[in-house]
Structure formats: structure tokens, C-alpha cells
Amino acid sequence: GAVVSQHPSRVICKSGTSVKIECRSLDFQATTMFWYRQFPKQSLMLMATSNEGSKATYEQGVEKDKFLINHASLTLSTLTVTSAHPEDSSFYICSARGGLAGAKQSYNEQFFGPGTRLTVL
């Protein structure tokens, strides 16, 4: 399948600081990227959907001013957790969908990055 990278893989920060997580599609153009959060032993929770060049669509209950998403290009989306607090500690995972005709994946398939484990002290 297609390759999606995330950086950093792990981050520890102090309460009140902001953390930026990058998500890149390495071998295809991602027209749509998704950001998920997963707490231990719980299901994936979709936070927002972002399309290149437009504003992200946030799921109900997700604060858009706290979780800033930018999808500036077809290969890069960023999630910034602003003024992080201990309750924001979680596993953040991006996924990407999209491709050109003849690419090794079709438009429907969604590929996940390896995730970023955030710990807020």
C-alpha cells in the first residue's frame, strides 16, 4: 500500500505548550487527510477531515481552536495541539486518501501514518 509518515513519533511536553504534528503522504497525492485520536484500549475517534486548500471539517465535540489543522499541500497536513493539557495526552494518528490515475492505490483506500504518542506533563 501507499506510505504515510508522521513526525514526531513521540513527544513529551509541558502543560500549556503547543505541539505540532506533521503528516506526509510519501508516494501519492493525498486529496483528503484525516486526523484521529485513540486513547488506550479504546476505538479510533475521528477528529477532523481536511481537504487540500480548504478548511478542515471537525467532528462534533472537537474544538477547532484547540486542534488546528492545516492541509497546505497534497502531501502535507499538520495538526497543532494548542495549549496542551494532560487530558490531551493520547495517540494521534493521521490517514490519507487520494491518488492519481494509474497510481498503485485507488481513491477509496485510506492509509494510516504510524501515529504520534503525545504525553502532556
Interface ranges with other proteins (CB under 8 A): 1, 34, 43-44, 46, 49, 91, 93, 95, 107-115
Give the side-chain half-sphere CA count within 13 A for 32: 12
Q: How far is the CB of 110 from other proteins (least distance, A)?
A: 6
Q: How far is the CB of 20 from other proteins (least distance, A)?
A: 19
Nearer to other proteins, 7 or 112 (CB): 112
Q: How far is the CB of 76 from other proteins (least distance, A)?
A: 18
Nearer to other proteins, 6 or 75 (CB): 6
Number of C-beta neighbours around residue 3 at 10 A: 13
Nearer to other proteins, 59 or 63 (CB): 59
- Closest by CA to 104, choosing from 29, 1, 7, 18, is 1
C-alpha cell at 111: 492509509
CB neighbour list of residue 95: distance below 8 Å, 6 or more residues apart: 4, 33, 34, 36, 110, 111, 112, 113
Q: How far is the CB of 58 from other proteins (least distance, A)?
A: 12
